[in-house]
Amino acid sequence: MTPPRHFLTLMDLKADEIRSLIKRAIELKSHRHQGLPHKTLEGKVLAMIFAKASTRTRVSFEAGMTQLGGSALFLSRQDTQLGRGEPIADTAKVISSMVDIVMIRTSAHTDVETFAAHSKVPVINGLTDDYHPCQILADLQTYVEARGEITGRTVCWLGDGNNVCHSWMNAARLLDFELVVACPEGYDPDTKLLSACGNRVRIERDPEQAAKGTDLLITDVWASMGQEDEQITRADTLAPYQLNRQLLETAEPGALYMHCLPAHRDEEISAELMDSSDTVIWQEAENRLHAQKALMELLLSA
């Protein structure tokens, strides 16, 4: 039996696979908007394990699998034996003997790796403390729909060098664009990952310098899930990195801006930008559905 194909970080896909996945996501989106059937995963079962909260990831995976003709199971960590200490490896052996594909959202990235190492079926990372690769598939789709190919562009990340930032760093080295990470000292992304990205990613302390002339500005919450008790200190230190109209005006004319959501309005992003009639933020959220449908097709076709 061939080993299953997992999606734990963006590096599990090649650049040309990401490009075809985005093409397919755009096609699936058009099928859905036109009401055309696309039941390519009839009878397949997706297990979704959540150890952290979610709106978009849960709804997009469950709705996506249903629209593809399959079904999805929601398993919260505390309602399964995982919450009572059953080892991840044992859980992986059992769950993967009963379903066709698994999605996990949890804290430690090593937990997703352990699950995948013992799983007979593909495992998808639905967010860990270190990475959020599904989000970047939707973000890339959104960029391609609005502005075309991202290769050769310049992208600016603002705020905390967190899990979503790490996945954007992987996108920069895979798809060959420049990523400027604007963050204060103490909020840098992982140093090992930074050096692996070579000249595709650099850090800039001054947000205006970082945003200057870029084609896309991205931000995310300043305190991620699990960091809630640091919210006040983080909000104070990261305040100069807010994504707002003034900063957007230093970017290239026509630059896009994104936020994976949920957002703290008027903290990391101004409410005015979120409510702007030409924002792609809502399209970005919807694209989680289409990009992940394309991802599940790809992993299940291997």
In the range 250-289, which residues lie near ligand CP by CB under 6 A?
Answer: 260-262
CB nearer to ligand CP: give 135 or 142: 135
Binding pattern for the stretch 49-68 against ligand CP, x by CB under 6 A and - elsewhere: -----xxxx-----------
34 belongs to the catalytic site:
no
CB nearer to ligand NVA: give 13 or 136: 136
Give the count of alpha carbons within 13 A of 152, CB side only.
4
CA 3 to CA 69: how far, in whole Å? 24
From 51, 102, 156, 164, residue interacting with ligand NVA (rule: CB under 6 A): 164
Report CA-CA distances (Å) from 194 to 169, 185, 187. Answer: 8, 14, 13
CB of residue 129 to ligand NVA, shortest distance in Å: 7
Determine which one of 109, 220, 234, 290 is catalytic: 220
Beta strand 216-219 with 256-259: parallel, antiparallel or unpaired? parallel
CB of residue 184 to ligand NVA, shortest distance in Å: 17
CA 85 to CA 2: how far, in whole Å? 30
Per CB under 6 A, 60 contacts ligand NVA: no
**C-alpha angle 270/137/200, rounded to 5°?**
80
What does 87 bind: ligand NVA, ligand CP, none (CB cut-off 5 to 8 Å by kind)?
none
Per CB under 6 A, 235 contacts ligand NVA: no
- Token pair, residue 249, equals 């005006």
- Mind giving me the DSSP string for 162-213? -HHHHHHHHHHHHHT-EEEEE--TT-PPPHHHHHHTGGGEEEES-HHHHHTT
Determine which one of 132, 234, 259, 290 is catalytic: 132
CA 213 to CA 228: how far, in whole Å? 33
From 135, 142, 162, 163, residue interacting with ligand CP (rule: CB under 6 A): 135
Determine which one of 24, 109, 288, 290 is catalytic: 288
| Residues contributing to the site for ligand CP (CB under 6 A) | 54-57, 127, 135, 260-262
User: Would you please indicate which residues are annotated as catalytic (active-site) residues?
Assistant: 105, 132, 135, 220, 260, 288
| Residues contributing to the site for ligand NVA (CB under 6 A) | 127, 132, 162-164, 220-221, 224-225, 260
